[in-house]
Structure 1
Amino acid sequence: MEIVNRDGRDIARRLYTALVLPLDDRLQVDEAGLRKLVRYYTDHAGFARHGGLIANPEAGEAFYLTREEKRRVLEIVLEEAHGRMPVLAGTFAWTTHETVELAAEAKAMGADGLFVVPPAGSMDVSIAWDSVRYPEVWLDQIKGQDRVADLPIFTHPVTNASQPWGIGLPLEPTLKFCREVPNIVGWKMTYAYPGHRILARAMREHAPHVALLCSSAHFFHEYQSVGNFDGTISGSWNYALEPMFEHIEAFRRNDFLTARRIWDDGMARLHEYIYSEPGRLHVRYKIAAWLRGLVSSPRMRPPMPAARPEEIARIRSLMQATGLPIVEARPAA
């Protein structure tokens, strides 16, 4: 079943990037830098045809932006994308009321879909949330956004860790969400590998209209090999667009030897390091984007942690081994 938006474009089964956020020396939104970053994606013919952009994702420091800043970020991404690819609006806020308002605002601004993130900020709705027994903690918030926006919805189903799911929402509430909110068309696959496999099989059977959008780039080769890959929602596009796109294209034309060569030629090792510590994931996305010259600084807004010299050195070495161009003059941050 193909999911299309009102303009007839396939919106669910695409390669979405969770955009990092360029910041200036005062840690304010670097608007010129953000425009440059969006143009990097729109200028890549293949990505422009098959990809999409997410404004205000977790990788874009959405937790630490004001409402006005989030609005401005979305406005810039929409302006620069200019209809060349879908733009999803991250709607995270600290209250359900504001989250729903952000969804309505995104609709009014022309976003193609919503990127919804679980609520946070209290033990009851974060580390101690039992999503199987109490799915309404997040489901009610999604339904509120759906009522005011009526747009395609893409989820970021990160929650407290459990087996076999890892940090992904367990199967029972996942199927409940997909059943009760028909506008959910894309499910970000944030799961440990065994959980990914189990959930993917169940989704194919019970929610085939929902695209499996893979997140963990260090498993992309395996996900594609077994067919549990409809597209992506990943921050790894911020540093490895070209080889990642070539790798996916090789799979799409059943050229497995080329896919394996690209994967084994440094890309697997680079992704494995980026993803090796979940608490450093978004920091490392930004370091790598900075080393490529796509953003002017690797710094993030505190309390997001600072890049460490050893991380910069390791990522530089792995990127060089992969053949990715880097800006050699970049000092340790």
Structure 2
Amino acid sequence: MADLADHLFVALVLPLTHDFRIDEPGLRRLVRHYAENKKFAAVGGLVANPEAGEIFYLSQDEKRRALDIVMEEASGKMPILAGTFGWTTHDVVQTAKDAKAAGVDGIFCIPPAGAMDITTSWDAEKYPEVWLDQIKEQDRAVDLPIFTHPVAASTAAYGIGLPKEPTLQICREVPNVVGWKMTYSYGGHRLISRALRSQAPRVAIMGAAAHYFHENLATGDFRGTISGSWNYALNPMLSHIEAWRRKDIDAANQIWNGGLVQLHEYIYSEWGRLHIRYKIAAWLCGLVDSPLMRPPMPKPRKIEVDTIAKLLKEAGIETISKPDPEMAA
């Protein structure tokens, strides 16, 4: 379990056809982009059906099919986690069972969604069982390593991440939880990292918000990742992490300040556009054939396409030559 949490997991975007079906050949190409990169495959991993992969808008059959494709292309080459979101706890448990049957290395648990009672109005500190009970149901059903996607109603202390006390309660009551994705503000990341290191040291700190990686690596608040930023900046991100790990601070600073931080900062500058921008960037890198997501996810805006194209080039990342203007609103 410990080794699994050391990996740099990609939260995969989902290639779609013009009529919003899963682009199966496109998904295979995307997975091979990572699995056939020997340098990345040695340290990386894949998350099938994460939030960035539009799991909220997939049927049960589509979730199984997307996972099957990822497993067919990358199983045995790198670790694979599967997102287990569903609209009811019954659906979530079935999704977890499907993932285990497919042979995944672990599951990626996403909080419940739906009524405001468990979304915008959920008081996670007072009622931790809203998510904790669902995690326990999955744990009993599949007994696999668990990584979390701990988004919650925004707070001043933590941003959009789960507060400290319910975090520690989940880690304490579910021993299979081995990785905690850092869906937090910078200050929240620091608070949760300290709490995990001191009170739940077996649970790995999994970097997510890539615009914080430089500081996170400097302070040691970083073990593995579960991040959508690997969809657009694989090579410079990998070189940056490698530089930190060999303690070459000059090289790390050069990569970070050579355009990588500016790119990440724009991608993460509006949380309500994050997944749209992941996919725009993946499209501009030629990794997917369309930047569009399933409605109600909105179309990208031209200013976003133009800005991301410019920032990718400034970071030294190759892009497609002529983006289709019809792909943007």
What is the TM-score normalised by the length of structure 2?
Answer: 0.98
What residue in structure 1 maps to residue 184 of structure 2? 191
Give 2:163's aligned residue.
Answer: 170
- Please give the alpha-carbon distance, in whole angstroms, between the structure 2 residues aligned to 1:159 and 1:105: 26
In the other structure, the counterpart of 2:7 is 14
Q: Distance in 2 between matches of 1:119 and 1:189?
A: 18
Partner of 1:79: 72
User: Which residue type is aligned with residue 311 of structure 1?
Assistant: E
Q: State the distance in 1 between where 2:130 and 2:322 align.
A: 48
Q: Give the Cα separation in 2 of the matches to 1:13 and 1:191.
A: 20
Cα distance in 1 for residues equivalent to 2:75 and 2:181: 25
Equivalents in 1 of 2:5, 2:226: separation in Å? 10
Deviations 1:14-33 (A, max 9, x none): 10010000001111000000
| Counterpart residue identity of residue 106, structure 2 | G
Matches within 5 A, 1:216-235: 216-235=209-228
Question: In structure 1, the residue corresponding to 2:95 is in which secondary structure?
Answer: helix
Please, which of 240, 256, 263 is the counterpart of residue 263 of structure 1? 256
| CA distance in 2: counterparts of 1:200 and 1:281, whole angstroms | 23
Once the two structures are superposed, the pairs formed by residues 90-109 of structure 1 within 5 Å of their partners are 90-109=83-102
Alignment of 1:69 onto 2:42: no
* DSSP 3-state at the match of 1:273: helix
Matched, 1:325 2:287: no
Take 2:273 and 2:192, find their aligned partners in 1: how far apart are those partners? 26
| Alpha-carbon distance in structure 2 between the residues aligned to 1:82 and 1:130 | 39
2:5 aligned counterpart, secondary structure? coil
Return the offset for 1:86.
0.7
Match of 2:277 in 1: 284
1:296-330 deviations in Å (ceiling 9; x for gaps): 00000000010111100000000111110001122
Q: Which of these residues, 223, 226, 240, is aligned with residue 247 of structure 1?
A: 240
Taking the aligned partners of 2:18 and 2:324, their CA distance within structure 1 comes to 15
Give the aligned CA root-mean-square deviation in angstroms.
0.7
What is the one-letter code of the residue matched to 1:189? M
Deviates more, 1:192-201 or 1:309-318: 192-201
Q: Residue 181 of structure 1 corresponds to which residue in structure 2? A: 174
1:291 to partner: Cα distance = 0.5
1:7 is aligned to none
Q: Which amino acid aligns with 2:286?
A: G
Distance 2:315 2:10 in 1: 20
Deviations, residues 144-202 of structure 1 (Å, cap 9, x unaligned): 00001000000000010112111000000000000000000000001111111111111
Q: Which residue of 2 aligns with 1:135?
A: 128
Deviates more, 1:239-248 or 1:106-115: 106-115
Percent identity between matched residues is 60
Match of 1:305 in 2: 298
Measured after TM superposition, the shift of residue 45 of structure 1 is: 1.4
Structure 1 partner of 2:309: 316
Gaps of 5+ in 2: none
Measured in 2, the distance between the counterparts of 1:187 and 1:301 equals 28
Q: Which structure 1 residue ranges, 5 or more long, are not aligned?
A: 5-9
Q: Secondary structure at the match of 2:4?
A: coil
Candidates 88, 106, 110, aligned match of 2:103: 110
Separation in 2, partners of 1:125, 1:287: 30
How far apart, in 2, do the equivalents of 1:278 and 1:312 lie? 17
| Whole-angstrom CA distance in 2 between matches of 1:238 and 1:273 | 15
AA aligned to 1:62 is I
SS of structure 2 residue aligned to 1:233: strand
